[in-house]
Structure 1
Amino acid sequence: MVVDASALQSNVMKGMVVALYFLPFIVAWLRGHHNKASIFLLNLFLGWTGIGWVVAFIWSASSVRARASVESSIPAASRSETADPYLNLEKLAELRERGHLTAEEFEAEKSKILDR
């Protein structure tokens, strides 16, 4: 079996041209960009214009939104209660100063916070 070198070279060149054409999508995919499907469509349909390719490439290199962590799904109120008891004591003192809590309620809540 004889392999024609020029045919192999031609196929390699075609592969390189296709990879270069879809470079914006490849960059978006490797970076885990949240708009990689839109970048692919822009690259596919308007990449041949040159301007479309440049726009897709810039878009793929733009900042990537951080994925939501499990901590961000916890409501802020429950995070603050468990995070820092001193902040909770300050909030209680502020509520007592405003007259929203009586002295007895303040002491009961303060003891709950300090017992944690």
Structure 2
Amino acid sequence: MVVDASSMQSGVMKGMVIALYFLPLIVAWLRGHHNKASIFLLNLFLGWTVIGWIVALIWSASAIKKRSPTLSGELPTSGAGKDGAYLELEKLAELRERGHLTAEEFEAEKAKVLNR
């Protein structure tokens, strides 16, 4: 079996060009960006315009939005001491006012904070 070196080189070059074209998607995927699908679509349809590719690359390298602990259902953990407990109680009260916690859940969490 004879392998043609020029066809192998052209296959490698094609792979490198495709990887370069989808570099914004690769960066977004590796960083765990929350807008991977949108970056992919922008890169796929407008990447050939160079401006679209640059925008997709900048977007993929932009700051990643962190989930707010109050939205994910977890209570934020504050520093130790009275100030930490006070801040946690304020956050619990805010969650109760927004309707994210019932009165019973608020009292249970308040007791946990105060018993530390």
Amino acid at match of 2:35: N
Tell me if structure 1 keeps the 8 A contact 2:69–2:75: no
TM-score in terms of structure 2 length: 0.63
- Output one character per residue of 1:17-73: Cα deviation in whole Å (capped at 9) or x when no partner: 000000000000000000000000000000000000000000000001124558951
TM-score normalised per structure 1: 0.63
Partner residue of 1:100?
none
Identity over aligned pairs, percent? 64
Give the match for residue 87 of structure 1: 86
CA distance in structure 2 between the aligned counterparts of 1:66 and 1:7, rounded to whole angstroms: 46
Runs of 4+ displaced beyond 6 Å: none
Alpha-carbon separation, structure 2, partners of 1:21 and 1:71: 36
| Secondary structure of the corresponding residue to residue 56 of structure 2 | helix
Task: Select the structure that is richer in helix.
Answer: 1
Alignment size in residue pairs: 89
- Residues 82-105 of structure 1, C-alpha deviations (whole Å, 9 max, x = no match): x859639xx9xxxxxxxxxxxxxx
| CA positional deviation for 1:74 | 3.9
Q: Which residue of 1 aligns with 2:94?
A: none
Query: What runs of 5+ residues in structure 1 fail to find an aligned partner?
Result: 92-111
The CA distance in 2 between the partners of 1:38 and 1:71, in whole Å, is 23
2: CA distance, partners of 1:15 / 1:59:
23
Q: Which of the two has higher C-alpha Rg?
A: 1
